[in-house]
Structure 1
Amino acid sequence: MTTYEEALSWIHGRLQLGIKPGLKRMEWLMEKMKHPERRLRAVHIGGTNGKGSTVAMMRSILEKAGYEVGTFTSPYIEQFNERISINGQPISDEAIVELTAMIKPLAEELEKTELGGPSEFEVITAMALYYFAYTRPVDIVLFEVGLGGRLDSTNVIQPLLSVITTIGMDHMQFLGDTLEDIAFEKAGIIKNGAPVVTGVKQEAALGVIKGRAKEVRSPVYQLGEQFKADWQTSMPQGEVFHFQSVFANLKDLMTGLNGLHQTDNAAVAVMSILYLRTFYAFLVEEEHIRSGLQSAKWPGRMEYVSEQPTILLDGAHNPEGMRALAASLAERFPSKNITALFSGMKDKDLKEMTELLEKTANHIVFTTFEFPRAAKKKDFAPFLTTHQWEEDWQGFIQKFQQTADENEVLVVTGSLYFISEVKRFIKEA
């Protein structure tokens, strides 16, 4: 293993093993790697939507306060290395090569056991744990859950704090087909005595989260109870809100991320930071919270990539995300002519997502892209009597750039993998 290309090829080759829920392989790897997960001060962030945005805001606040912050996130938008970052800077190609050379023999040894070889995500998770524990120790690591929580490979960590952003109907083939089932999987990241901060609003899901917290004697800080976010207005870049909590009250906070839902994500991030300040002596002042929130960026979430004409990218890859996008578009562009270019995965609820988009978009254009699970024309067939199909999405975007007037808005939405492709195309163009 001598080159970055070889390393990436080997890592991505693990994709053929699919998703493998369970912690036995990770526990085996942790034992062989001298338990890097025990050397970290970490926050564990799960939920259906809002994980990445919450990580970005927490990281930005802690960075403003002078801390070195490691993050583990997925998927990536522009570069694989983004998944393991310090203060927002992806790790180097050389570090990827070194980590892959370390993990590959272990993966091959594990493959010979009854547990079977580790999946791609398990390999990347193990690499991140080792990197932040031994290669490049940091002050704190923010670990984003990959899928679910209880059986996710990141769940080997013992966090200072667990965060559950939202609960929605997604990944039902793995997590169950009711809110309670999904909440049970998400709540699996709550550990003995470590508190949970949550932005979940559905009573059924909250009941499950509180039940798990009671079992393991973990305090619960719930949006709408121990802390609140009162949205005020949308700005050209970001949202303004008042924050109230048992720890502090802060007026006129502004997010650097667009979308009404980012107010809730920001409140969850601020509450989590205040908990770390109160109980773990993190030296974070009000000015760090204000400036950190405002400077936080997270690609592919109501992200403007062109102002003339207006083009924005939003990875609304499930009904909950699409509902949030529709509400934000209605608030930000009440009198604009909105065109939505949409490509999603065929295993998602395309019907509900389309119906939500119809509430705001004047025109919906469906397309596809090169990805094994991407929906094709036949998957969108039920909607093509009233909406448009476009095979050449690159040409469609270019034509919009050339012909759109100031009253028109293009929102590119759906799968984050599609958003990644579009962002790369626009950047190169």
Structure 2
Amino acid sequence: MQTYQEAREWIEGLIPFGIRPGLERISMLLDKLGHPERRLKFIHIAGTNGKGSVCAYLTSVLRQCGYDVGTYTSPYITKFTNRFQYNGEDIEEETLLALANELRPHVEEIAATELGSPTMFEVSTALAILYYAKVTYPDFVVWETGLGGRMDVTNIVHPIVSVITNIGHDHMDVLGDTLEEIAHEKAGIIKSGVPVVSTVEQPELRDIIAQTAKEKHATLYLAGDQFHAVPIRHNEQEQSFRFEGLFRTIEPLEITLTGSHQRSNAALAVMTLEVLRQYYALIMEDEDLRTGLRHASWPGRLEMITNNPKIILDGAHNPEGAAALAAALKETYTYQKLHVMIGMLGNKNHQETLRHILPLADTVIITEPDFHKRLAAEELASIAAELRGQHSFELLVEPDWQLALHKLREQTAPGDLGVVTGTLYMISDVRARLLNDTDNEKGW
């Protein structure tokens, strides 16, 4: 491969091999590379919602404290290189090309075995490990799971702390039919003797996390038990809270990400950092903690993208995400009318997701993301129509997301609020359009 474009096309060309949970191929790949992952300190993050925001908080604070930080996340909002960050900057295209060329012979060798070709995510994960272990040498790697936990490719590493956000209804076609099954999968990132921090709320799921931690002799820090986030104030631009932890209380802490769920995410990050202070002598001054939290940002999550008209982007693509969005719209934002544009993929829990949003809306514009797994606008609209009940919103159907966005902007008068929500694949396109970003490479 001679160019970055060729390297990206090769990696994304592995998408047809699909999502195949299991660690055999990534294990073989890392074995061929001499296990570079063993030289890195990982903070491993799993959960249904909030993973990206927790990654952003951790990265921002650790950098503010003077540490070098690698951050591996997915999917990306703007460009493929977003997945592989070092100190907040994307991997350079030339570096990605060189690492892809190093990986390719090994990938093709494995593809010729009975295991079959490594998947796109497996190759991306191996590339991230090479980037951090052989090129940038960060002090910490903030390491987000792709799907689930136990059999997720990222679970090939042995972290210094495991983090589990909330657990909800997402990817049930892969992870299981019940929340209990999903919880078992997420708990699969818990390693023997490695501390665990979690904001899981449901009692029966907390029991699963606690039991797994006990079996692994891993100390567990649970929100509501060992730490709390107590709100102080909030508005449309920022919010503050008091962190009450097992080791100490810190107040006030300010964040610019809105919604009560972001207080929870921030507290989870703070407790994780507190655990690193206790276990690994992490040096973190209170002022660096405050500054790092305040400067943390995460695109596409309750992001006020334009002010005239006032439009928010929020990738609420499952029931729990939609519930968090609805709560924020009720608690944080003021508006005369609410206009919602939504597009979804075909494998989601659409009824429960829409149930949270529809009662608040004056206008609902149903559209489709420009992505091969999209749900047809007419199909989503029929679900919305069935749920309309006593709600009096205007229902519009426009399959072309660009025309739908034009309609949303027209509808959103001064004093109103527009919301674009649903799959992050559509959020990516809309964000690029509204910011006039010509370098957008939406995708996995």
For the criterion TM > 0.5, the same-fold answer is: yes
Q: Quote the RMSD (CA, aligned, Å).
A: 1.3
Query: Tell me, what secondary structure is at the counterpart of 2:113?
Result: coil
| Contact in 2 for aligned 1:239/1:262 (Cα 8 Å) | no
Deviation of 1:183 after TM superposition, in Å, equals: 0.5
Name the CA distance, whole Å, in 2 between partners of 1:74 and 1:143: 10
2:181: which partner in 1?
Answer: 181
Amino acid at match of 1:131: Y
Q: Aligned residue for 1:108? A: 108
Q: Helix, strand or coil: the match of 1:330? A: helix
Match of 2:431 among 413, 423, 427: 423
Q: SS at the partner of 2:368?
A: coil
Residue pairs, 1:300-339, within 5 angstroms: 300-339=300-339
Aligned to 1:398: 406
Q: Unaligned stretches of 5+ in structure 1?
A: none
Q: 1:399 offset after TM fit, Å?
A: 4.6
Q: Which runs of 4+ in 1 moved over 3 A?
A: 398-404
Alignment of 1:2-13 (within 5 A): 2-13=2-13
Match of 1:276 in 2: 276
Q: Which moved more, 1:342-351 or 1:142-151?
A: 342-351
Q: CA contact under 8 A between 1:343 and 1:413: conserved in structure 2?
A: yes
Which residue of structure 2 lines up, in the alignment, with residue 191 of structure 1? 191
Amino acid at match of 2:175: L
1:152-176: per-residue Cα shift (whole Å, max 9, x none)? 0000111000000110011111111
Change beyond 3 A, Cα 1:310–1:335:
closer
Q: Deviations over 1:57-93 (max 9, x none)?
A: 0110011101111000000001110100012111110
Note the 1:334-413 alignment, pairs <5 A: 334-380=334-380, 381-384=382-385, 387-401=395-409, 404-413=412-421
Report the Cα distance in structure 2 between the residues aligned to 1:232 and 1:359, rounded to whole angstroms.
28
Q: Which residue of 2 aligns with 1:129?
A: 129
**For residue 434 of structure 2, what is the amino acid of its counterpart?**
I
The answer to whether the 8 A contact 2:376-2:399 is kept is no
Distance 2:353 2:228 in 1: 28
- 1:92 paired with 2:92, answer yes
Which stretch shifts more, 5-14 or 334-343?
A: 334-343
- Report what 2:440 is aligned to: none
Partner of 2:78: 78
Cα distance between partner residues in 1 of 2:370 and 2:34: 40
Contact kept, 8 Å, 1:228 with 1:245, in 2: the verdict is yes
Aligned CA distance change for structure 1 residues 366 and 403 (closer, same or farther; 3 Å): closer
CA distance in 1, matches of 2:261, 2:29: 38
Q: Which letter maps to 1:261?
A: H
Match of 1:156 in 2: 156
More displaced stretch, 377-386 vs 222-231: 377-386
Q: Which residue of 1 aligns with 2:441?
A: none
Provide the secondary structure at the position in 2 that maps to 1:382: helix
Do the aligned partners of 2:47 and 2:164 also contact (CA within 8 Å) in 1? yes
TM-score of the two chains, using structure 2 as the length reference: 0.94
Compared with structure 1, are the counterparts of its residues 359 and 239 closer, same or farther at alpha carbon in structure 2 (3 Å cutoff)? farther
CA–CA distance in 2 between the matches of 1:242 and 1:44? 25
Contact 1:346/1:379 (8 A) holds in 2: no
- TM-aligned CA deviation for residue 346 of structure 1: 1.3
Greater CA drift, 144-153 or 342-351? 342-351
- Which is worse superposed, 313-322 or 326-335? 326-335
Higher mean C-alpha displacement, 333-342 vs 186-195: 333-342
CA contact (8 A) 2:11 2:120 kept: yes
> Is 2:241 the counterpart of 1:233?
no
Amino acid of the residue matched to residue 230 of structure 2? D
**Which range is displaced more, 392-401 or 363-372?**
392-401
Q: Contact between 1:179 and 1:204, CA under 8 Å: does it hold in 2? A: no
Relative distance call for 1:224 and 1:115 in structure 2 (3 A) is same
Residue 103 of structure 1: SS of its match in structure 2?
helix
User: 1:43 Cα shift?
Assistant: 0.5
Asked if structure 1 preserves the Cα contact closer than 8 Å seen for 2:41 and 2:140, the reply is yes
Deviations, residues 228-265 of structure 1 (Å, cap 9, x unaligned)? 01122223322211110012211221112112100000
SS in 2 for 1:367: strand
**Paired letter, 1:382:** I
State the alpha-carbon separation in 2 of the partners of residues 54 and 361 from structure 1: 29
Q: How far does the alpha carbon of each residue in 1:387-429 deviate from its partner, in whole angstroms, 9 at most, with x for none?
A: 2212333234335445633211111000011100111111228
Query: What residue number does 2:51 align with?
Result: 51
What is the TM-score of this pair, normalised by structure 1?
0.97
Report if aligned partners of 1:231, 1:242 keep a CA contact under 8 Å in 2: yes
Secondary structure in 2 aligned to 1:242?
strand
Q: Which amino acid aligns with 1:109?
A: E
* Equivalent pairs, count: 429
CA distance in 2, matches of 1:315, 1:377: 17
Question: Which letter does structure 2 place at the counterpart of 1:44?
Answer: H
State the match for 2:294 in structure 1.
294
Give the superposition deviation at 1:283.
Answer: 0.8
Contact 1:44 1:144 in 2 (8 A): yes
Conservation of the 8 A alpha-carbon contact between 2:412 and 2:418: no
For the residues of structure 2 that align with 1:190 and 1:238, how far apart are their CA atoms? Answer: 33
Aligned 8 A contact 1:39 1:133 in 2: yes
Give me the whole-angstrom Cα distance separating, in 2, the residues matched to 1:295 and 1:382.
39
Report how far residue 353 of structure 1 moved. Answer: 1.1
The residue identity in structure 1 corresponding to 2:33 is M
Cα distance between partner residues in 1 of 2:65 and 2:370 = 42
Please list the CA deviations of residues 19-55 of structure 1 after superposition, one character each: whole Å capped at 9, or x if unmatched: 0100011110111011011110110000000000000
Provide the C-alpha distance between the structure 2 equivalents of 1:238 and 1:162, rounded to a whole number of angstroms.
Answer: 28
Q: Which range moves more in the overlay, 65-74 or 234-243?
A: 234-243
Please tell me whether the aligned partners of residues 305 and 312 of structure 1 are also in contact (alpha carbons under 8 angstroms): yes
Separation (CA, whole Å) in 2 of partners of 1:173 and 1:369 = 20
Q: Distance in 1 between matches of 2:59 and 2:340?
A: 31
Q: Shift in Å at residue 376 of structure 1?
A: 0.6
CA distance in 2, matches of 1:400, 1:164: 36
Aligned to 1:35: 35
| Equivalent AA in structure 1 for residue 384 of structure 2 | F
